[in-house]
Amino acid sequence: MKLNGTYSIDKFLDEALYNKKFGYYSQSKPFGKDGDFTTAPLITPMFSEMISIWIISFWIKVGKPKKFSFVELGPGNGVFCKTFCNTLKNFPAFKKSIKIYLLEKSEKLKKTQRDLIKEKNVTWIKNLNQIKNGPILFFGNEFFDSIPIKQFEVKKSKIYEKFIEFKKGKFKKFILKKTSKKMVKKLNNFNLCLKDGIIEYPQDGLKILDLIIKKIKKLNGGILLIDYGYLKKQKIDTLQSLKEHKKNVYYKNIGKADITSLVNFQLLYKFLSKKKLILNEIVNQSFFLKKIGVIERAEILSKKMSFKEKSDLYYRLERLLSEKKMGELFKVIFASSKKIKFDLGFK
Protein backbone atom coordinates (compact mmCIF):
# COMPACT_ATOMS: atom_id res chain seq x y z
CA MET A 1 0.00 0.00 0.00
CA LYS A 2 1.64 3.24 -1.14
CA LEU A 3 0.75 6.14 1.10
CA ASN A 4 2.11 9.46 -0.05
CA GLY A 5 1.97 12.75 1.84
CA THR A 6 1.06 13.85 5.37
CA TYR A 7 -1.84 12.33 7.33
CA SER A 8 -3.33 13.00 10.74
CA ILE A 9 -3.08 9.81 12.83
CA ASP A 10 -6.81 9.03 12.50
CA LYS A 11 -6.73 9.50 8.70
CA PHE A 12 -3.65 7.27 8.46
CA LEU A 13 -5.39 4.57 10.53
CA ASP A 14 -8.52 4.82 8.40
CA GLU A 15 -6.46 4.23 5.24
CA ALA A 16 -4.36 1.45 6.78
CA LEU A 17 -7.38 -0.44 8.15
CA TYR A 18 -10.35 0.43 5.95
CA ASN A 19 -9.13 1.50 2.49
CA LYS A 20 -11.44 -0.49 0.21
CA LYS A 21 -8.61 -1.86 -1.95
CA PHE A 22 -5.54 -1.96 0.27
CA GLY A 23 -6.82 -1.68 3.87
CA TYR A 24 -6.13 -4.43 6.38
CA TYR A 25 -9.80 -5.40 6.83
CA SER A 26 -10.34 -5.47 3.06
CA GLN A 27 -7.65 -7.99 2.21
CA SER A 28 -6.39 -9.90 5.23
CA LYS A 29 -7.69 -12.77 7.33
CA PRO A 30 -7.36 -11.09 10.72
CA PHE A 31 -8.77 -13.69 13.09
CA GLY A 32 -7.69 -16.97 14.62
CA LYS A 33 -4.62 -19.18 14.44
CA ASP A 34 -3.93 -18.36 10.78
CA GLY A 35 -4.62 -14.64 11.25
CA ASP A 36 -3.02 -11.95 13.35
CA PHE A 37 -5.01 -12.04 16.59
CA THR A 38 -7.67 -14.00 18.49
CA THR A 39 -10.87 -12.70 20.07
CA ALA A 40 -12.87 -14.09 23.00
CA PRO A 41 -15.59 -15.79 20.85
CA LEU A 42 -12.80 -17.73 19.08
CA ILE A 43 -11.15 -18.81 22.34
CA THR A 44 -14.27 -20.62 23.58
CA PRO A 45 -17.99 -20.71 22.63
CA MET A 46 -18.70 -20.25 26.36
CA PHE A 47 -17.98 -16.53 25.99
CA SER A 48 -20.67 -16.10 23.33
CA GLU A 49 -23.09 -18.38 25.18
CA MET A 50 -22.81 -16.33 28.38
CA ILE A 51 -23.28 -13.03 26.51
CA SER A 52 -26.30 -14.62 24.78
CA ILE A 53 -27.85 -15.44 28.17
CA TRP A 54 -27.17 -11.87 29.33
CA ILE A 55 -28.97 -10.54 26.20
CA ILE A 56 -31.97 -12.81 26.83
CA SER A 57 -32.05 -11.61 30.46
CA PHE A 58 -32.12 -8.02 29.18
CA TRP A 59 -35.07 -8.88 26.93
CA ILE A 60 -36.90 -10.35 29.93
CA LYS A 61 -36.07 -7.21 31.95
CA VAL A 62 -37.70 -4.94 29.33
CA GLY A 63 -40.90 -7.02 29.44
CA LYS A 64 -40.38 -9.72 26.76
CA PRO A 65 -41.43 -7.41 23.89
CA LYS A 66 -42.76 -9.05 20.71
CA LYS A 67 -40.36 -6.95 18.64
CA PHE A 68 -36.76 -6.63 19.83
CA SER A 69 -33.78 -5.31 17.85
CA PHE A 70 -30.24 -6.48 18.51
CA VAL A 71 -27.23 -4.86 16.81
CA GLU A 72 -23.75 -6.34 16.81
CA LEU A 73 -21.13 -3.66 16.14
CA GLY A 74 -18.20 -4.90 14.06
CA PRO A 75 -19.06 -8.64 14.05
CA GLY A 76 -15.56 -9.72 12.93
CA ASN A 77 -15.67 -13.19 11.39
CA GLY A 78 -19.25 -13.77 12.63
CA VAL A 79 -18.43 -16.40 15.26
CA PHE A 80 -20.25 -14.59 18.10
CA CYS A 81 -23.40 -14.17 15.98
CA LYS A 82 -23.28 -17.82 14.87
CA THR A 83 -23.11 -19.05 18.50
CA PHE A 84 -25.82 -16.54 19.51
CA CYS A 85 -28.14 -17.87 16.78
CA ASN A 86 -27.49 -21.46 17.92
CA THR A 87 -28.26 -20.51 21.55
CA LEU A 88 -31.56 -18.89 20.47
CA LYS A 89 -32.87 -22.29 19.37
CA ASN A 90 -33.33 -23.10 23.08
CA PHE A 91 -35.43 -19.95 23.62
CA PRO A 92 -38.23 -20.03 21.00
CA ALA A 93 -40.21 -17.03 22.34
CA PHE A 94 -37.10 -14.85 22.27
CA LYS A 95 -36.06 -16.17 18.85
CA LYS A 96 -39.49 -15.23 17.49
CA SER A 97 -39.26 -11.65 18.77
CA ILE A 98 -35.65 -10.79 17.87
CA LYS A 99 -34.32 -9.19 14.71
CA ILE A 100 -30.51 -9.29 14.51
CA TYR A 101 -28.62 -6.53 12.69
CA LEU A 102 -24.90 -6.67 11.86
CA LEU A 103 -23.11 -3.35 11.34
CA GLU A 104 -19.93 -4.07 9.37
CA LYS A 105 -17.71 -1.69 7.39
CA SER A 106 -15.49 -4.24 5.64
CA GLU A 107 -16.95 -5.90 2.51
CA LYS A 108 -14.52 -8.80 2.88
CA LEU A 109 -15.63 -9.48 6.46
CA LYS A 110 -19.29 -9.21 5.41
CA LYS A 111 -18.69 -12.04 2.95
CA THR A 112 -17.01 -14.14 5.68
CA GLN A 113 -19.99 -13.49 7.98
CA ARG A 114 -22.55 -14.33 5.28
CA ASP A 115 -20.79 -17.62 4.52
CA LEU A 116 -21.07 -18.58 8.20
CA ILE A 117 -24.49 -17.19 9.19
CA LYS A 118 -27.53 -18.43 7.30
CA GLU A 119 -30.31 -17.37 9.69
CA LYS A 120 -33.40 -15.62 8.26
CA ASN A 121 -33.64 -13.08 11.07
CA VAL A 122 -30.10 -11.69 10.50
CA THR A 123 -29.71 -8.54 8.38
CA TRP A 124 -26.54 -6.65 7.40
CA ILE A 125 -26.89 -2.89 7.61
CA LYS A 126 -24.85 0.09 6.42
CA ASN A 127 -26.32 2.58 8.88
CA LEU A 128 -28.59 2.73 11.91
CA ASN A 129 -31.46 4.43 10.05
CA GLN A 130 -32.41 1.00 8.75
CA ILE A 131 -33.58 -0.01 12.24
CA LYS A 132 -37.14 1.04 13.04
CA ASN A 133 -38.25 -1.09 16.01
CA GLY A 134 -37.33 -1.05 19.68
CA PRO A 135 -36.46 -1.87 22.37
CA ILE A 136 -32.93 -2.06 21.01
CA LEU A 137 -29.68 -3.48 22.38
CA PHE A 138 -26.24 -2.76 20.92
CA PHE A 139 -23.28 -5.05 21.58
CA GLY A 140 -19.63 -4.58 20.63
CA ASN A 141 -16.76 -6.90 21.50
CA GLU A 142 -13.40 -5.37 20.54
CA PHE A 143 -15.22 -2.76 18.47
CA PHE A 144 -13.87 0.55 19.78
CA ASP A 145 -10.22 -0.49 19.77
CA SER A 146 -10.27 -0.71 15.96
CA ILE A 147 -11.81 2.74 15.34
CA PRO A 148 -9.19 5.34 14.32
CA ILE A 149 -8.10 7.83 17.01
CA LYS A 150 -6.54 11.27 16.92
CA GLN A 151 -3.26 11.83 18.78
CA PHE A 152 -1.98 15.03 20.34
CA GLU A 153 1.26 15.85 22.10
CA VAL A 154 1.49 18.32 24.98
CA LYS A 155 4.76 20.23 25.26
CA LYS A 156 5.15 23.06 27.80
CA SER A 157 1.36 23.43 28.09
CA LYS A 158 0.93 23.76 24.31
CA ILE A 159 -1.10 21.15 22.43
CA TYR A 160 -0.01 19.89 19.01
CA GLU A 161 -1.77 17.37 16.80
CA LYS A 162 0.41 14.49 15.63
CA PHE A 163 0.72 13.78 11.90
CA ILE A 164 2.62 11.11 10.03
CA GLU A 165 4.45 11.61 6.72
CA PHE A 166 5.03 8.97 4.04
CA LYS A 167 6.99 9.05 0.82
CA LYS A 168 6.18 6.39 -1.79
CA GLY A 169 4.71 4.11 0.85
CA LYS A 170 7.58 4.43 3.31
CA PHE A 171 7.43 6.13 6.69
CA LYS A 172 9.39 9.37 6.69
CA LYS A 173 8.68 11.22 9.96
CA PHE A 174 6.16 12.45 12.52
CA ILE A 175 5.08 16.09 12.37
CA LEU A 176 3.43 18.18 15.11
CA LYS A 177 0.97 20.93 14.16
CA LYS A 178 -0.60 23.45 16.54
CA THR A 179 -4.12 22.43 17.56
CA SER A 180 -7.15 24.65 16.92
CA LYS A 181 -8.93 26.31 19.85
CA LYS A 182 -12.08 24.36 18.94
CA MET A 183 -10.27 21.04 19.34
CA VAL A 184 -8.56 22.10 22.59
CA LYS A 185 -12.05 22.92 23.95
CA LYS A 186 -13.25 19.41 22.99
CA LEU A 187 -10.28 17.85 24.81
CA ASN A 188 -10.86 20.05 27.87
CA ASN A 189 -14.53 19.03 27.96
CA PHE A 190 -13.38 15.52 28.83
CA ASN A 191 -10.54 16.60 31.10
CA LEU A 192 -8.00 15.07 28.71
CA CYS A 193 -5.42 17.86 28.69
CA LEU A 194 -2.20 16.97 30.47
CA LYS A 195 0.89 18.89 31.52
CA ASP A 196 3.02 16.79 29.17
CA GLY A 197 2.53 13.59 27.23
CA ILE A 198 0.30 12.04 24.56
CA ILE A 199 -3.46 12.62 24.41
CA GLU A 200 -5.58 10.15 22.47
CA TYR A 201 -9.03 11.26 21.35
CA PRO A 202 -11.47 8.87 19.61
CA GLN A 203 -13.28 11.48 17.51
CA ASP A 204 -14.68 8.93 15.02
CA GLY A 205 -15.68 6.55 17.81
CA LEU A 206 -17.59 9.26 19.67
CA LYS A 207 -19.44 10.21 16.47
CA ILE A 208 -20.61 6.59 16.08
CA LEU A 209 -21.48 6.43 19.79
CA ASP A 210 -23.55 9.60 19.47
CA LEU A 211 -25.66 8.01 16.70
CA ILE A 212 -26.11 4.89 18.83
CA ILE A 213 -27.20 6.98 21.84
CA LYS A 214 -29.82 8.78 19.71
CA LYS A 215 -31.21 5.39 18.64
CA ILE A 216 -31.25 4.13 22.24
CA LYS A 217 -33.15 7.21 23.40
CA LYS A 218 -35.64 7.04 20.53
CA LEU A 219 -36.38 3.32 20.69
CA ASN A 220 -35.54 2.62 24.36
CA GLY A 221 -32.65 0.27 25.05
CA GLY A 222 -28.96 0.01 25.88
CA ILE A 223 -25.39 -0.67 24.81
CA LEU A 224 -22.93 -3.28 26.13
CA LEU A 225 -19.27 -2.84 25.19
CA ILE A 226 -16.37 -5.17 25.98
CA ASP A 227 -12.89 -4.06 24.98
CA TYR A 228 -9.34 -3.82 26.18
CA GLY A 229 -8.50 -0.51 27.71
CA TYR A 230 -7.80 1.50 30.84
CA LEU A 231 -9.51 3.53 33.57
CA LYS A 232 -6.67 5.76 34.76
CA LYS A 233 -5.54 8.51 32.41
CA GLN A 234 -2.64 7.44 30.19
CA LYS A 235 0.06 9.80 28.93
CA ILE A 236 1.45 7.37 26.42
CA ASP A 237 0.94 6.32 22.81
CA THR A 238 -1.28 3.20 23.09
CA LEU A 239 -1.29 2.34 19.37
CA GLN A 240 -0.21 -1.23 18.85
CA SER A 241 0.06 -3.52 15.87
CA LEU A 242 0.06 -7.29 15.41
CA LYS A 243 1.12 -9.38 12.44
CA GLU A 244 0.78 -13.16 12.72
CA HIS A 245 0.32 -12.82 16.52
CA LYS A 246 3.65 -10.96 16.83
CA LYS A 247 4.28 -7.27 17.58
CA ASN A 248 4.69 -5.02 14.58
CA VAL A 249 5.66 -1.33 14.29
CA TYR A 250 2.31 0.22 13.33
CA TYR A 251 3.64 2.32 10.43
CA LYS A 252 5.23 -0.73 8.78
CA ASN A 253 3.54 -3.57 6.85
CA ILE A 254 0.61 -1.20 6.20
CA GLY A 255 -2.52 -3.07 5.14
CA LYS A 256 -0.93 -6.37 6.20
CA ALA A 257 -1.00 -5.90 9.99
CA ASP A 258 -3.71 -5.04 12.50
CA ILE A 259 -3.52 -1.72 14.36
CA THR A 260 -5.52 -0.98 17.50
CA SER A 261 -5.45 1.40 20.46
CA LEU A 262 -6.39 0.98 24.11
CA VAL A 263 -9.90 2.25 24.88
CA ASN A 264 -10.22 5.07 27.43
CA PHE A 265 -13.19 3.76 29.45
CA GLN A 266 -13.43 6.84 31.67
CA LEU A 267 -13.89 8.93 28.53
CA LEU A 268 -16.65 6.57 27.30
CA TYR A 269 -18.29 6.78 30.74
CA LYS A 270 -18.18 10.60 30.72
CA PHE A 271 -19.53 10.79 27.19
CA LEU A 272 -22.43 8.42 27.93
CA SER A 273 -23.32 10.15 31.22
CA LYS A 274 -23.23 13.61 29.57
CA LYS A 275 -25.86 12.23 27.19
CA LYS A 276 -28.04 11.35 30.20
CA LEU A 277 -27.88 7.57 29.96
CA ILE A 278 -27.99 5.35 33.07
CA LEU A 279 -24.64 3.66 33.68
CA ASN A 280 -23.37 0.79 35.78
CA GLU A 281 -19.86 0.98 37.19
CA ILE A 282 -17.21 -0.23 34.76
CA VAL A 283 -16.01 -3.76 35.64
CA ASN A 284 -13.36 -6.04 34.18
CA GLN A 285 -14.17 -9.04 31.97
CA SER A 286 -13.32 -11.57 34.68
CA PHE A 287 -15.76 -9.99 37.17
CA PHE A 288 -18.52 -9.71 34.55
CA LEU A 289 -18.27 -13.28 33.22
CA LYS A 290 -18.06 -14.78 36.73
CA LYS A 291 -21.12 -12.80 37.84
CA ILE A 292 -23.18 -14.09 34.91
CA GLY A 293 -22.22 -17.69 35.66
CA VAL A 294 -19.37 -18.72 33.35
CA ILE A 295 -17.71 -20.94 35.99
CA GLU A 296 -20.98 -22.77 36.70
CA ARG A 297 -21.44 -23.21 32.92
CA ALA A 298 -17.93 -24.68 32.63
CA GLU A 299 -18.67 -27.12 35.48
CA ILE A 300 -21.85 -28.34 33.75
CA LEU A 301 -20.07 -28.80 30.41
CA SER A 302 -17.04 -30.55 31.97
CA LYS A 303 -19.14 -33.33 33.57
CA LYS A 304 -19.52 -35.09 30.22
CA MET A 305 -15.93 -34.53 29.10
CA SER A 306 -12.79 -36.65 28.98
CA PHE A 307 -9.79 -35.46 31.01
CA LYS A 308 -8.17 -34.04 27.85
CA GLU A 309 -11.34 -32.13 26.85
CA LYS A 310 -11.76 -30.86 30.41
CA SER A 311 -8.16 -29.58 30.50
CA ASP A 312 -8.71 -27.75 27.21
CA LEU A 313 -11.97 -26.19 28.45
CA TYR A 314 -10.37 -24.83 31.64
CA TYR A 315 -7.28 -23.64 29.77
CA ARG A 316 -9.54 -21.58 27.49
CA LEU A 317 -11.57 -20.32 30.43
CA GLU A 318 -8.37 -19.20 32.14
CA ARG A 319 -7.48 -17.11 29.08
CA LEU A 320 -10.76 -15.21 29.47
CA LEU A 321 -10.54 -14.78 33.26
CA SER A 322 -6.87 -14.60 34.25
CA GLU A 323 -5.50 -11.22 35.39
CA LYS A 324 -2.38 -11.87 33.33
CA LYS A 325 -4.39 -12.55 30.16
CA MET A 326 -7.79 -11.02 29.25
CA GLY A 327 -9.55 -10.95 32.61
CA GLU A 328 -8.22 -7.65 33.94
CA LEU A 329 -7.18 -5.85 30.75
CA PHE A 330 -10.62 -6.18 29.16
CA LYS A 331 -13.29 -3.88 30.60
CA VAL A 332 -17.08 -4.00 30.36
CA ILE A 333 -19.42 -1.00 30.25
CA PHE A 334 -23.22 -0.89 29.99
CA ALA A 335 -25.43 2.16 29.50
CA SER A 336 -29.19 2.33 29.03
CA SER A 337 -32.05 4.75 28.51
CA LYS A 338 -33.71 6.20 31.62
CA LYS A 339 -36.59 3.69 31.70
CA ILE A 340 -34.23 0.73 32.13
CA LYS A 341 -32.04 -0.18 35.11
CA PHE A 342 -30.23 -3.43 34.42
CA ASP A 343 -27.13 -4.44 36.37
CA LEU A 344 -26.70 -8.17 35.73
CA GLY A 345 -22.95 -8.87 35.70
CA PHE A 346 -22.02 -5.59 37.34
CA LYS A 347 -22.88 -6.24 41.02
**How does pLDDT run across 211-250, given as a tens digit for each residue?**
999 999 999 999 999 999 999 888 899 999 988 878 999 9
Domain ranges of the chain: 5-292+328-336
The full DSSP string for 292-342 is TTHHHHHHHHHTTS-HHHHHHHHHHHHHHH-TTTTTTTEEEEEEE-TT---
**φ, ψ (nearest 5 deg) of residue 104:** -135, 130
**How does pLDDT run across 253-274, given as a tens digit for each residue?**
999 999 999 999 999 999 999 9
pLDDT of the residue at 36: 59
- Under 8 Å between Cβ of 10 and 150: yes
Segment 20-49 mean pLDDT: 79
Question: Is a pLDDT exceeding 60 seen at residue 32?
Answer: no
pTM, two decimals, is: 0.94
**φ, ψ (nearest 5 deg) of residue 58:** -65, -45
The full DSSP string for 168-209 is TTEEEEEEEEEPPHHHHHHHHHTT---SSEEEEE-HHHHHHH
More confident residue, 31 or 218: 218
Q: Which CATH architecture group holds 5-292+328-336?
A: 3-Layer(aba) Sandwich (3.40)
How many residues are present in the chain?
A: 347
H-helix or E-strand containing 225?
strand 221-230
**Rounded distance between C-alpha atoms, residue 275 and residue 98, angstroms:** 27
pLDDT of the residue at 324: 87
**How does pLDDT run across 127-186, given as a tens digit for each residue?**
999 999 989 999 999 999 999 999 999 988 899 999 999 998 899 999 999 999 999 999
**How does pLDDT run across 59-103, given as a tens digit for each residue?**
999 999 999 999 999 999 899 999 999 999 999 999 999 999 999
